[in-house]
Structure 1
């Protein structure tokens, strides 16, 4: 285990997804923070300064696209990789529009979750 614990924020209003993802990632040594809305998103993210953010498309209130765009406008937060996740068939377009680094289609399997998170960590 490295001296610095990796931190991740998951924005999703689906409690099942939050609990499954939290469980898996905590098992791998992540410090997991979850939010069921994206209100005051810059304060939430700045307070934690995560290594990665998982962003749901349908997060209340503003939605994932606006939430991600808001983060990408902030000089201090814009380099945090955002993984956009959604069950929408046009998720790649949504992720590109939001300015996210990559995306994960729902439903996803846990290997895929790990692979996507690790891929953005390596790029950073």
Structure 2
């Protein structure tokens, strides 16, 4: 069984593309389309990595990430923030995330960032 990655992305097309890229690379992937779905998922799950969009219909990925990092049981799960609008440096500082991917992204760069975070 491959490493477990959870995608938090409200755009179904982007979520599908990320899901396809990751499963094709051998990862086990789960997904949430809203902040509420993610919060329900994370209470009982321990993914190896979380890919989180900033803008969600019912929440903010930066706040979700920060709250996750403040939870002693979940704080060690690496989070990669994804955004088409946010500035990398400010997002990383504000969210306390491990890494950032700007959308749209190059597939090879995307996989390199994911691989790097999973190997730490």
TM-score by length of 1: 0.89
Residue from 42, 60, 65 that aligns with 1:63: 60
In 2, the alpha carbon distance for the partners of 1:37 and 1:90 equals 22
Residue from 59, 70, 85 that aligns with 1:73: 70
Alignment of 1:1-124 (within 5 A): 4-39=1-36, 41-123=38-120
Which whole-Å deviations, capped at 9, do the CAs of 1:32-61 have from their partners, x for residues lacking one? 111011126444124231100001010231
Residue correspondences, number: 120
TM-score by length of 2: 0.92
RMSD: 1.5
Which whole-Å deviations, capped at 9, do the CAs of 1:44-101 have from their partners, x for residues lacking one? 1242311000010102312111110111111111000000010125132112201100
Q: Which runs of 5+ in 2 are unaligned?
A: none
